[in-house]
Amino acid sequence: MGGISLLRRAAAGLVASGAIDHLVITAPADDVERFRAELDDLLDGPLEKSPEGSRDGSPDRTVERAVGIEVVAGSSHSRQASVALGLAAALAAVPRADVVVVHDAARALTPPEVTHRVIAAVRAGHEAVVPALPVTDTVKEVEPREAGEPELVVATPRRVRLRAVQTPQGFETGALVAAHRAGAERAADESLAASDDAGLVEACGGRVVVVAGDERSMKVTTPMDLALAELLLEQQSGRIPSASTRVPRDGEN
């Protein structure tokens, strides 16, 4: 987007938050060196300035600190398995880390304030925190059928209770390690693996809370997503005006 890869934009957004001590990127084994080259100069220049209060709640002063970045080979089995490898690398680099965040590079336009909200909620005592937005579409639960076949609707969840989850997701380190350990057997098969890390925490009885996400944290997966992301970049640059939206209430389509 705009001549900059999703990977670099996502990594730069985390670094810009000033809340990250060490950043681990998991890459396909054949792309590790390419990913390293892509991020090689990300930290060229002065050290990041971060709020001293990011740890003690006093954000009026800043301190300089370096951010480590490394790229490691992920797993070919599942996203869950790749995150487990990245988590191990992160804790090897920062053994005393008390908070871990997991982010998808596809959410490359996530603003730093989302990262701040997530980490602040973990530090406030929540073991797992996810950013999310209210769902604006009516959602139907169905009985899955073969592609192209009509599917029977079995439920219509109340929209007021639904949230579309984003990243970065934040965790108390021990909770995330325990969740990955408990769910390790699922990681070998993508069809069984958790689609996000909060789901692993839920599966082993942990409590997950939601904080406000951001529309800019959209996931870029399809060509349409990419076109919308390019539009967001245009809006952020001021080249085109932004539009306001209203979340519909239950009973509205």
What pLDDT score does 219 carry? 96
Residue 181: other Cβ atoms inside 10 A: 11
What pLDDT score does 249 carry? 62
What pLDDT score does 243 carry? 56
At residue 176, the 3 state secondary structure works out as: helix
Q: What is the DSSP string of 46-65?
A: SPEEEETHHHHS-TT-EEEE
Q: Which two tokens stand for residue 218?
A: 């959209």
What pLDDT score does 1 carry? 87
Dist. CA 169–CA 91, nearest whole Å = 17
What pLDDT score does 244 carry? 55
User: Global pTM?
Assistant: 0.83
CATH code for the structural domain at 6-237: 3.90.550.10
User: For the chain, which ranges sit under pLDDT 50?
Assistant: 45-65
What pLDDT score does 29 carry? 95
Long-range pairs for 183-188 at CB < 8 Å and ≥24 separation?
A: 183/80, 184/84, 186/78, 186/80, 187/75, 187/77, 187/78, 187/80, 187/81, 187/84, 188/77, 188/78, 188/81
What pLDDT score does 65 carry? 45
